[in-house]
Amino acid sequence: MRTRGKITEVFSSVQGEGLYFGEEQIFVRFFGCNLKCKFCDTHLDRFTEYEPEELLQELKLYKNGHATVSFTGGEPLLQKYFLKAILKLTRKEGYKNYLETNGILHSALEDVIDDVDIVAMDLKLPSSTGLKDFWHHHHRFLKVASKKETFLKMVICQDTNEEDLKEGLRLIKEVNKFLILVLQPNSYEEYEPMIEKLERFKDIARDNHITACVIPQLHKKIGLK
């Protein structure tokens, strides 16, 4: 199927979140998202249309020193046909495919998982996002994602409550207790007042036999894109 993708930007930078923070990656930011998290810092107000092959040619301009392409958004899985096509091309070129996702569109993930190498999956806590809960979707999504290298991320805000954390830990234990959970403080809120909460959340994770680490958004701290 011939398909065009709506892409907001393509750029090279340092991965600023999660377990791969510090790695130089090429970022492909997909246009459009199915959520509206209250802490969202991503502005998707324009896009350029690409054929998969056109996008690959643009990525090749960055080839030196980049092992990994990060497919981010918005939510890349909203454009699953285009995503599938570009994942196949990048993999053939020898790149590692890193998918950043809000962890909800499990059927779309099933269609592309074979060509994904790393899944960076959000667990959207209702007390953080200001939205409804997505536990059922997250559960199904995580089962599919776990076929590949996966880690989880929770954005922790001053409003985030312990019940949501515990529900997330339950879910991780049910699907795969060996997955690492990243607790990421909301970068729009002051860090100092949240230190105690982050430490407490880490302890609760440990008591539930889940490895959790606190990793703030590095790129914002050092002034990178």
Binding site for ligand SF4 (CB under 6 A): 33, 35-37, 40, 42, 73-75, 102
Closest to ligand SF4 by CB, 33 or 214: 33
**Residues in contact with 19: Cβ distance below 8 Å, sequence separation at least 6, in sequence order:** 120, 151, 180, 182, 215
Contact 162, 132 (CB under 8 A): no
Provide, rounded to whole angstroms, the least separation between the CB of residue 179 and ligand SF4.
Answer: 19
Provide, rounded to whole angstroms, the least separation between the CB of residue 40 and ligand SF4.
Answer: 3
Closest to ligand SF4 by CB, 7 or 56: 7
Contact 34, 105 (CB under 8 A): yes
Strands (E) across the chain are located at 5-14, 24-30, 48-50, 68-72, 96-101, 118-122, 149-156, 180-185, 212-214
Region for residue 223 given its phi and psi (left: phi exceeds 0; alpha: psi -120 to 50; beta: otherwise) = left
Phi, psi angles (nearest 5°) of residue 211 = -80, 125
Closest to ligand SF4 by CB, 36 or 132: 36
What CA–CA distance (Å, rounded) separates 43 from 31? 9
Closest to ligand SF4 by CB, 105 or 179: 105
Provide, rounded to whole angstroms, the least separation between the CB of residue 41 and ligand SF4.
Answer: 7
| 3 state SS of 12 | strand
Provide, rounded to whole angstroms, the least separation between the CB of residue 10 and ligand SF4.
Answer: 17
For the record, the structure tokens of 175 come out as 């699907």
Task: Return the residue matching tokens 């954005």.
Answer: 155
Provide, rounded to whole angstroms, the least separation between the CB of residue 108 and ligand SF4.
Answer: 14
Beta strand pairing status for 48-50 and 5-14? antiparallel
Provide, rounded to whole angstroms, the least separation between the CB of residue 77 and ligand SF4.
Answer: 11
Closest to ligand SF4 by CB, 33 or 89: 33
Residues paired with residue 180 on neighbouring β-strands, in sequence order: 151
Closest to ligand SF4 by CB, 87 or 120: 120
